[in-house]
Structure 1
Amino acid sequence: MRLDQVQVELRPRSPWEAMELGIALVRRHARAIWLPWTAITLPLFVVLNALAWTLDLVPLAALAMWWLKPVFDRVPLYVLSRAVFGQAPAVRETLAAQRRWGWRPMAAYLTWRRLGPARALYLPVDLLEGGAGGGARRQVIGGSARGMAILLTLACANFEAVLVFGMYASVVLFVPVEFLSESARALWTLAFEAPPRWAQLAGNALVWVASSAIEPFYVGAGFGMYLNRRTQIEGWDIELAFRRLRTRIAGLSTALLVGAMLCLPMPPAAAADDPPRKAATPAPPTLPRVFGEVEDARPFKAATEAAYRDPLLSPERKVTRWVSRDPRKPRQDSEVPVWLQRVGDAIAALGEYGLWFLFGGLALLLAWTRKTWWPWMRDLTAAPAPAPTALRLEPHADAEPLPADPAAVARALWSAGRRRRALALLYRASVAAMAARIDAVLVPGATEAECLRAARGMADADDRDAFAQVVRVWQYAAYAERLPDDAGFDALASRLAARFAWGTPA
């Protein structure tokens, strides 16, 4: 590993920043990742689905592709590990490396570690470090980042689910609004209740597309957290700083050495006839000559002790803390076997995260059964107060008989100021006349749209147009509170009376 060739800035980051770094690396080397990814996964997808088609077990092909994700994760991990410390490998180089690189840890990742929630963080440890240290190394690299790795797994799984259901739901976008309920019911039956084999194959293809879009980002985010943990533990940023410092001063070392040699004094030449020097006698101490002899040292000692007792020179404080009367004895090493400790850790993890899965299951159950309990909850709330309106609303019974001349009665109601009642009478009379003319029976509470569809059975185009006009005027009055003027109402009543023969003897 050549740290001097690193292509990113190595510094301690938060887990979110580390994940963003890995995702940015995946975006930068997208072509070098997705081309070999497609070249490996697509043929295998075709082979598995063809085999499952012949055995009539098409859903198992999607399960097999999902189970083999750790094998496919070697592709983006290989590209990123080379691109960070040098040049990104070519597509052929990546494909050739998959034959021999990273197969040793796959036996574990396809069996008991397959459902590990922190796979993105631990996979670089086993593939890039050769599995050195085993579980202890994974424990060190995981550390405080294990929780974020689990959260990353949940987030990417949700992203894949959103993509799959979003592609299913995109089919509904091409369905007209009036046929939406029937089409949604048919899509549910086709995709989930009784899907044919071609629909199952299409579902497998959607799952493969979603997995291919999200999985490289998942591996890249885990690789970013792995680099961050190595930087925090091994001090890669400090090592790089020292290497840059060494590079800067390497060019000046020769000049500094030459300058130091020139500044050294030259040793004097020894004379050949100089007599040998006598041994130097030690000089007498000069302290007594400067300060004199101390006759009494007691005042000096007293002054020294007083200085040490000064609180500014030797500050002291009293600390009171509670101590257990019976201190606990040091815990002895447990004699429980290692495999039993692993089982206990697994049960503890299940108890820790099982509550969250239970909470999620309860939330899904409540959402699934909302049609059962939501009306009951809605009835408990108080009815909202009606909004004030400028129109005078009057209750009327739909079952009251229609008059012989609805147009004349409607004009009388209009003149009396009961305009909404007049329009309602014209609408009811028109619906009854239309149903009698086409010899049809409308269901109670039929909507305006259903009445318009039934009116298509009238042979005369003018009759259909007159009926559509009264429906439109009634909708404006009922829903938008827009009433016609006197002239418009009189013209509408006259047209309806002429089209439906109101007021004429039978």
Structure 2
Amino acid sequence: MRIDQLDVVLRARSQWEAMELGTALVRRHARAIWKPWLLVALPLFALLNLGGWWLDNFLLPAMLMWWLKPALERIPLYVISRGAFGAEPGTADTLRAQLRWGWRGLLAYLTWRRLSPARSLLMPVDLLEGGDPALRRARRGALGNASYGHAAMLTWVCFHFELMLQLAGVSLIFMFVPLDLLSESLRAAWSLIGDETPAWAWVGFNLLSLVAMSVIGPFYSGAGFGLYLNRRTQLEAWDVEIAFRRLRERLAKLAPTLALVMALLAPMALPVQAQQADGTATAHANHKTAPPVADSPQTVFGPSDADIAGFRQAAARAYEDPQLGAQRTVTQWQKKAEEEQDKNAPDLPQLPQLPLEAIGKLLALISESILWIVLGIVVLALLLTARWWLPWLRGTGKRQRSEESPVAQEVLQLPEVLPPDILGSARRLWREGKPRHALALLYRASVEVLVQRADVLLPPGATEAQCLRASRRMPREQDRELFGQMVRTWQYAAYAGRLPSDAEFDALAASLHQHFGWPA
């Protein structure tokens, strides 16, 4: 496994982002996952249900199909573990790999680890890493410490998704049942649940379970692989290692250029090295002659061949820094004692105090008088309005409620039997102040003309929309337009309260007389 060939961006992710990364890998390699999945799941489903039919027990195939789901989850795990490194396997390669991939690690997930809530996180350790049992046990403990709760939540959520998909498949069947027959269909479906359940009902339910498992299973394995990949990145610093490897590749490409630059700069560096050698020799001489002091470089570094001259130059440059050893003046203001203030205070002319005190007392008296006047006005206003607010404050006040005017309701029914003189009856209703009744009569008669000329049979209580759709079968364009105008006029009057004017009503009656042949 070469992590520099990873086809995903490794970075510090939360556990939820890691699961989203796994589902994104499943979506990327969807074709390579679901083709071998179905090629394995469908024959297994047929074989198990055939055995259930032979044993006359179809509940056993459903339980076995659910129990063998970890064997199917190896398929998406194999595909995305290779696809994440840029090597997506083909369908034939995936199927062949299931036979030679080893069954020792899978045996545990079909027995004592089958109900483990962290199966999606721990399965990659046994199937991808291998190793002896002690090493795998340590790896499972290291990877599952910080992600066990998220893996358990993933298992719980995916289980409910599969259950909801099965219930949705059952509900979808009843959505196509007419409402009139729904109660009978529900009773018939309930009677199928029990000892007399036919074989086709069991097979259909098992098929729904397979569909739900096939939809959710790959995403479950992918999300678990995302958690596994994220934990290895956190523990082994894969992202840092990849960054260093890419840096090494970039430097390796620049190696010839760097060698050429160093070859060109080598002659220029020789005089500098000679000068440094002279300085080192001088420092050695000084070391032999000068006695060490308490803060000398010999005391710090000991009797070694240290570059004392370079150290002294660096120390001198450090002391030349303006921020080191600089002096500044700080001024602070402090309060003086009262005696010093009295001594240093200048002799100012004393102002008369009595007039100022008198002005202050006068202003205070005026303000107090104004407040008392305002308080008196408020109390007087409360006394004058007590008959209104006092009963309300006691809770005995009665609110005067305006009597609501009764709503005028008018029962409007479409006539069942049409009169012989349709237009005359409609005009009489219009003059009598019953315009809605007149329009209802014209609409009812127009529907009769629609049934005759379009040769259709409308259901009882047909809506205006149904009548408009049926009017498309009328042979003449003028009849279709006139019927649409009649329906709109009736809808405006019946639902929006917008009645036509007298002129519009007369024009509509004339058009109906002309095209529908009603006597005037």
TM-score when normalising by structure 1 = 0.53
Check conservation: 1:11, 1:237, Cα contact below 8 A.
yes
Matches within 5 A, 1:366-385: none
For 1:250 and 1:405, the matched residues in 2 are separated by: 104
2:80 maps to 80
1:180 maps to 178
Q: What displacement does 1:478 show?
A: 3.8
Q: What displacement does 1:492 show?
A: 12
Check conservation: 1:77, 1:219, Cα contact below 8 A.
yes
Structure 2 vs 1, CA of residues 482 and 122 (structure 1 numbering), >3 Å: closer, same or farther? farther
1:328 maps to none
1:153 maps to 155
Letter in 1 for 2:436: R
1:8 maps to 8
Matches within 5 A, 1:83-94: 83-85=83-85, 87-94=87-94
For 1:115 and 1:58, the matched residues in 2 are separated by: 22
Matches within 5 A, 1:115-130: 115-130=115-130
Question: With CA pairs under 8 Å and 6+ residues apart, which has the higher RCO, 1 or 2?
Answer: 1
Check conservation: 1:120, 1:219, Cα contact below 8 A.
yes
Q: Does 1:394 align with 2:414?
A: no
1:236 maps to 238
Deviation string for 1:143-187 (max 9, x for gaps)?
4433433443344445545554555566677x5xxx731465566
Structure 2 vs 1, CA of residues 428 and 30 (structure 1 numbering), >3 Å: closer, same or farther? closer
SS in 1 for 2:48: helix
2:356 maps to none
2:28 maps to 28
Structure 2 vs 1, CA of residues 246 and 71 (structure 1 numbering), >3 Å: closer, same or farther? same
1:97 maps to 97
Q: What displacement does 1:86 show?
A: 5.7
2:436 maps to 420
Query: How many residues are treated as equivalent by the alignment?
Result: 356
Check conservation: 2:32, 2:90, Cα contact below 8 A.
yes
Check conservation: 1:406, 1:426, Cα contact below 8 A.
no
Structure 2 vs 1, CA of residues 139 and 208 (structure 1 numbering), >3 Å: closer, same or farther? same
Check conservation: 2:37, 2:72, Cα contact below 8 A.
yes
SS in 1 for 2:104: coil
SS in 2 for 1:8: coil
Structure 2 vs 1, CA of residues 68 and 475 (structure 1 numbering), >3 Å: closer, same or farther? farther
Q: What is the RMSD computed on CA atoms of the aligned residues?
A: 5.5
Letter in 2 for 1:76: P
Structure 2 vs 1, CA of residues 193 and 429 (structure 1 numbering), >3 Å: closer, same or farther? farther
Matches within 5 A, 1:297-446: 394-396=409-411, 413-420=429-436
1:142 maps to 144
1:49 maps to 49
1:227 maps to 229
Deviation string for 1:326-346 (max 9, x for gaps)?
xxxxxxxxxxxxxxxxxxxxx
Check conservation: 1:19, 1:221, Cα contact below 8 A.
yes
For 1:153 and 1:491, the matched residues in 2 are separated by: 74
For 1:85 and 1:35, the matched residues in 2 are separated by: 20
Check conservation: 1:191, 1:199, Cα contact below 8 A.
no
Q: Does 1:285 align with 2:291?
A: yes
Structure 2 vs 1, CA of residues 115 and 478 (structure 1 numbering), >3 Å: closer, same or farther? farther
For 1:245 and 1:89, the matched residues in 2 are separated by: 30
**Runs of 5+ consecutive residues of structure 1 not aligned to the other structure:** 266-279, 291-391, 432-445, 454-464, 500-506
Structure 2 vs 1, CA of residues 182 and 4 (structure 1 numbering), >3 Å: closer, same or farther? same
Deviation string for 1:7-35 (max 9, x for gaps)?
33322223343233323322333333223
For 1:56 and 1:201, the matched residues in 2 are separated by: 12
SS in 2 for 1:87: coil
1:203 maps to 205
Check conservation: 1:403, 1:409, Cα contact below 8 A.
no
Deviation string for 1:125-159 (max 9, x for gaps)?
23223355566543432344334334433444455
Q: What displacement does 1:240 show?
A: 2.3
Structure 2 vs 1, CA of residues 424 and 196 (structure 1 numbering), >3 Å: closer, same or farther? farther
SS in 1 for 2:178: helix
For 1:481 and 1:108, the matched residues in 2 are separated by: 75
SS in 2 for 1:73: helix
Q: Does 1:69 align with 2:69?
A: yes
Letter in 2 for 1:54: W
Check conservation: 2:412, 2:437, Cα contact below 8 A.
no
After superposing the two structures, state which structure 1 stretch, 180-189 or 468-477, moved more.
468-477
Check conservation: 2:23, 2:219, Cα contact below 8 A.
yes
1:303 maps to none
Letter in 1 for 2:226: G
SS in 1 for 2:99: coil
TM-score when normalising by structure 2 = 0.52
Structure 2 vs 1, CA of residues 423 and 99 (structure 1 numbering), >3 Å: closer, same or farther? same
Letter in 1 for 2:2: R
Check conservation: 2:106, 2:127, Cα contact below 8 A.
no
Letter in 2 for 1:40: V
Q: What displacement does 1:228 show?
A: 0.8
For 1:190 and 1:101, the matched residues in 2 are separated by: 48
After superposing the two structures, state which structure 1 stretch, 64-73 or 115-124, moved more.
115-124
For 1:145 and 1:207, the matched residues in 2 are separated by: 29
